[in-house]
Structure 1
Amino acid sequence: MPAAGKAFDRALKTAPNDPELWVDIARLRYRGGEQKQALMASRKALALGPRNPAALLLSAQLVRDAQGNAAALPLFERGLEAAPNDPDLLADYAATLGELGRATDMLAVVRRFAAAAPGDRRALYLQAVLAARAGNHDLARSLLQRSGDLDREMPAAILLLALVDLDNGNPAVAAQGFDRLLSLQPDNVRVQALLARALAVAGNDRELIARFAGTADDRYTALLVGRAYENLGDRAKAAPFLDRALRDPLPAHLAALPPAASLEVTTLRGTADGPNTVALVRGLIAARRTRDARAKAEEWLKRHPGSGEAMALAGDAALAARDPRGALRCYRAAAAVRRPWPLTKRMAAALEASGKSASAEALVTAQLAGEPSNAEAAMMLSRRLAARGERKRAELLKAHAAAHGG
């Protein structure tokens, strides 16, 4: 990375007004954890090339990260006016339309993409997504298999193929896919639940118990573990898991994720890099040493002031230390770079703790508008509306969540 930075510095001396050079600089800075500086470089690129496809693509991607899918569409459309057959613009535009639930429009763009770049495997993946969402699992599998090794290289494609296998009556094969993805993303709680379901459907009760009995904190996984014990004839061990599964649903709340390694190990590793810093701060929060957690997170942020991840980590430490206003300052700075759903949830919790319930609701509502398939956001709003007596709207949102896998 430092060598690449020096090479770009030399290039700037000879081509300071090249928009695509500024695009490359922005992407390097983003990958290097300097997201604020990346935003500035992307704005420079767009100012130098307001019709440059690469500059418009980058700006659309950054706007989508921070402001949501709908906000990015005009930038994609401007880019395609300048370069109607640009494969990268077509691929991202199609995916963004899909996330907004505009399947018909997505299909039209995917067809344009396939015609413009017949050898591009992303077109097959996007078509597979559309087929899977329409319930045509055989077609989705066929398209993924035609994409070469994409279903082994790309996390989203691994997930899609495993879901297709699970829905198509091949749970053992699906479990292998979820397991492979979990090895890449060990903290992905949705994939953990999907793996537990695949093992349960496949009848692998002993493996299900071995993997999830010690971590079955959510009601669904607890239900699966309890049923697995019942299948093995051990009702005594099944009982506490089934009791946990059948308890009244608790209101939505945040909980500290357990660290992947012991605090002794993470303390020895220190703050050498981002993953080690996250592990250390999580360990300190879990040990209720919130002052130390905050100090380490703020130290990391000072070393990487342009990093959205560092801002979010400092916000987590502040929230754990019961300083919601301090957490909000950090979360808002992080959200200006990128605002995924997990960050929105933490921001909403910090707003609630600051006495700003209406702002929390508006934030989740905006997230759902940009991600109509977000079942968790729909249920969060449904519970809120039901609590204040707006039963009709609450039921509509509940039905929407159920239709999207909630």
Structure 2
Amino acid sequence: MRRLIVFALCIGAFAVALLAFRSVIANRTDPQAARAALQRSQAYLAASNASAARSQAFQAVKADPQLGEAHLALARAALALDDGVAAEASLRRALDTGVNASRTHALMAHAVLLQGDPRRALTEANKALAGNDPADRLYALRVRTRAYTAGGNLAAAQQSALTATRLAPQSADAWAELGRFRFNAGDIAGAIAASAKAVDLDRGNTDALVLRGELVRTQYGLVAALPWFEAALKRDPYRHSTLIQYAATLGDAGRTTDMLAATRRAMEVRPRSLQAMYLQAVLAARAQNFDLASDLLERAGTGVSQLPGGLLLGGSIDIAERRYERAIEKLRGLVSLQPMNITARRLLATALLQSDASKNGIDVLRPVVARGDADAYALTLAGRGYERIGDRVTAARFLDRAAYPAQRGSTWFSADDALPQLSAAVSKAAPDAPDATIPLLRGLIDRGERDAALVRARDIARRNSGAPAAHLLVGDTLMLLGRPGDAVAPYKDAASIRFDGPTMLRLVEALDRSDQRQQASTTLALFLSQNPTDLTALRLSASWQAAAGDFDAAIDSLEAVRLRIGNRDAALLAQLALAYAGAGEPARAVQYAEAAYVIAPNNPAVAGATGWTLAQSGDSDGGIELLKKAVGMAPRHPVLRWQLAQAYAQASRTGDARAEALTALNLPGFTDRGAAEALLAKLK
């Protein structure tokens, strides 16, 4: 036993000695290895690979904790990755090792700015500007640009950005900073020019590539932007902010599998990435997995869930899960932030009606249903709301509008105030503030001062030539004046800067109403090539494809929409029925038409589509009865009259066919005149 105890003690002593030796070896500094890792970190940072630069800087600090340059390198890499807390900690360690404080002011300014303290950032930046190092001064000017922007002093921010480009005209970082400032300030055209200059100067600059991707996404579309984000990720595959931008763009472009992979890569870099959780919540909601979507949004925290996108997503999830009070709370906040957000108003009204707050729901919908192009869903909601409060006359008016198969032209949100109040609102806000200026222009036009309204709109566009909203203002004014041909040019100017959905729809409408249908079709096709999942564009494209006789393409477009929104949209199902009928698939057409009719039997478009598909499938009597019902509900709709005429002709009811064809020819908006005249000649 004594021998065993002695042997065990010897083994224990040996283990302690071994551990002590390993501890000494682990803590031993290696200046040569630290210098080598530092050089690699600096090379990676120069190559715009901040993730690899940070990894090598960690190795340098680990090899020699007293090497101040290593801590500075770690701080620079952390700043490039937008980690202000880690950067400040590294800077303080660098100071503890004896690094001169004058070398840290510009970096510290950036670090504290990332932590949300623009005032302190300006103080540190000014210290750097007082020094003699040109690189530090350039860095400080870039930080001042961001700090002044955060504080709302756009004039000072612009001056700092321009000074940086004059100080270093060949610096891609300086031009990228100017481009970012202009982008945030709404000068999209100026931002495009600055970002292009930055990329020309350094095609490997990650910040410039990401900015270029964001601007290409705005200017041209989603698909065109993807190569720019991919180029940035080739430089730095694990840069979190780039991965988030890339994932969001992939998702909007319909590439959900790739989007999920990008968010997972982002979470490898930051396991608690709030942006990645939000994007995954969006994916889950689109897949109807609301429990997972709600859990992910909750894990993302209030910093994300209280942003407009988070409020809209959260409200949608709550409505789907019948948590109406929670939905109302979120959506009210969103409508107060974005009063012209029609989607938010529709969702809020839905939640209010489900909570027996019909009057409040009607109030929320009032600015939406006042528009001539109000959608059937909003009109139906308003009608149901009036039914619940006992106003059946008003309810019937809105339900009739919802059932009518065509919409009137669009108008703006407008105020009922007199011109003096509207002018005061503009003066109080800003001379170019759209929210106040649009109602003022509408008031001027309503009072007959059309020239004054147009002059005002053009003056705003002249002073803000880089802002697409200013050009849209001119186009909207011209459309309101009934001059769609003249509106094309300002809409094109806006589209050349920002080609988004609202701009596309305005331009397409102006081209179509000025008899430039081919250009309108080309514009729509170009938009869809870049935004293949845009539901509004897909439905508009399907209508034009069907009108041109390309029913197979129309079916593809409409089925893509149905896949996204489900089978409860009667108008969509009716469109599909007509497309399948045109493509020579009557059985499938009847299936869709009957499904639409079950949902909305009193909608004349649905009744007409059902009647037409029945007639095309051989049931002439049933088809004629439903077409007569549709014409009775919408007697001045030329397409329904023309469909009824053709159904009568197929049933050999010559007199009735001639009467309906003549009526269709005499109705405004009828476009199939050649076929109608040929039918009349055949029926003589």
Alignment pair present for 1:132 and 2:272 = no
- AA at the equivalent of 1:357: R
Residues 222, 253 of structure 2: 8 Å contact kept: yes
Task: Indicate the residue corresponding to 2:585 in structure 1.
Answer: none
Q: Distance in 1 between matches of 2:256 and 2:221?
A: 18
Distance 1:172 1:89, change over 3 A: same
Aligned to 1:384: 544
CA offset digits 1:240-278 (Å, max 9, x no partner):
2222222x2215743333248543322233562323334
Partner of 2:553: 393
2:497 is paired with a residue whose SS is: coil
- Per-residue deviation, 1:385: 2.7
Question: Secondary structure in 1 aligned to 2:199?
Answer: helix
Query: SS of the residue aligned with 1:240?
Result: helix
Which residue matches 1:342? Answer: 502
Q: Is the 8 A contact 1:256 1:285 kept in 2?
A: no
Q: Does 1:61 align with 2:221?
A: no
Q: Quick one: which of 502, 516, 525 aligns to 1:356?
A: 516
Unaligned 5+ segments in structure 1 are none
Pick the aligned partner of 2:388 from 210, 215, 231: 231
**1:342-378: CA deviation from partner (whole Å, max 9, x where unpaired):** 1101100111133211221222223233333322212
Corresponding residue for residue 195 of structure 1:
348
Map residues 6-405 of structure 1 onto 2, 5 A cutoff: 6-212=159-365, 216-217=369-370, 218=374, 219-246=376-403, 248-250=404-406, 253-259=409-415, 262-268=418-424, 269-270=426-427, 272-275=431-434, 276-285=436-445, 287=447, 289-405=449-565
Task: Decide whether aligned partners of structure 1 residues 207 and 254 sit closer, same or farther in structure 2, where only a CA change above 3 A counts.
Answer: closer
Q: 2-side partners of 1:197 and 1:139: how far apart?
A: 23
Deviation of residue 161 (structure 1)? 0.8
Partner Cα distance (2:537, 2:449) in 1: 31
What secondary structure does 2:369 align onto?
coil
Alpha-carbon deviation of 1:185?
A: 0.8
Q: Which amino acid aligns with 1:371?
A: N
Verify the 8 A CA contact 1:99 1:373 in the aligned structure 2.
yes
Residue 498 of structure 2: SS of its match in structure 1? coil
Deviation of 1:37 after TM superposition, in Å, equals 1.9
Moved over 6 A (4+): none
- How far the C-alpha of 1:326 sits from its partner, in A, is 3.2
Given the superposition, is the C-alpha separation of residues 254 and 240 from structure 1 closer, same or farther in structure 2, using an over 3 Å criterion?
Answer: closer
Deviations 1:296-327 (A, max 9, x none): 01111222222222122122223333333432
Following superposition, the deviation at residue 165 of structure 1 comes to 0.8
Q: Is the deviation greater in 392-401 or in 70-79?
A: 392-401
Aligned letter for 1:266?
L
Highest relative contact order (Cα 8 Å, sep 6+), 1 or 2?
Answer: 1
How many residues are treated as equivalent by the alignment? 405
- CA distance in 1 between partners of 2:541 and 2:408 (Å): 11
Contact 2:423–2:440, Cα closer than 8 Å, also in 1: yes
Percentage identity across aligned positions? Answer: 34
- State the TM-score, normalizing by the size of structure 2: 0.56
CA distance in 1: counterparts of 2:492 and 2:416, whole angstroms: 27
Give the conservation status (yes or no) of the 8 Å contact 1:33–1:304: no
2:383 maps to amino acid:
G
**1:103 Cα deviation from its structure 2 partner:** 0.6
Q: C-alpha distance in 2, partners of 1:174/1:154? A: 14
2:203 and 2:209 in contact (8 A); partners too: yes
3-state SS, counterpart of residue 322 of structure 1: coil
When residues 404 and 41 of structure 1 are mapped into structure 2, their CA distance, relative to the original with a 3 A threshold, is same
The offset of 1:333, in angstroms, is 1.7
Deviation digits for residues 33-74 of structure 1, max 9, x if unmatched? 432222111111111110111000010111110111001111
Whose radius of gyration is greater, 1 or 2?
2
Q: Which amino acid aligns with 2:419?
A: L
Please, which runs of 5 or more residues in structure 2 have no aligned partner? 1-153, 570-684
Q: Secondary structure at the match of 1:404?
A: helix
SS state of the match for residue 257, structure 1?
A: coil
Offset of 1:95 from its aligned partner?
A: 0.6
Query: Relative to 1, partners in 2 of residues 1:215 and 1:314: Cα closer, same or farther, differing over 3 Å?
Result: closer
**TM-fit CA distance, 1:105:** 0.6
The alpha-carbon deviation at position 384 of structure 1 amounts to: 2.2
CA RMSD of aligned residues (A): 2.3
- Which stretch of the first structure deviates more once superposed, 103-112 or 18-27? 18-27
Secondary structure of 1:336's aligned partner: helix
Give 1:125 shift.
0.7
CA distance in 2 between partners of 1:214 and 1:153 (Å): 24
Q: 1:9 to 1:398 in 2, by over 3 A?
A: closer
Normalising by the residue count of structure 1, what TM-score does the alignment of the two structures yield?
A: 0.92
Q: Are the equivalent residues in 1 in contact too, given 2:325–2:351 (CA < 8 A)?
A: yes
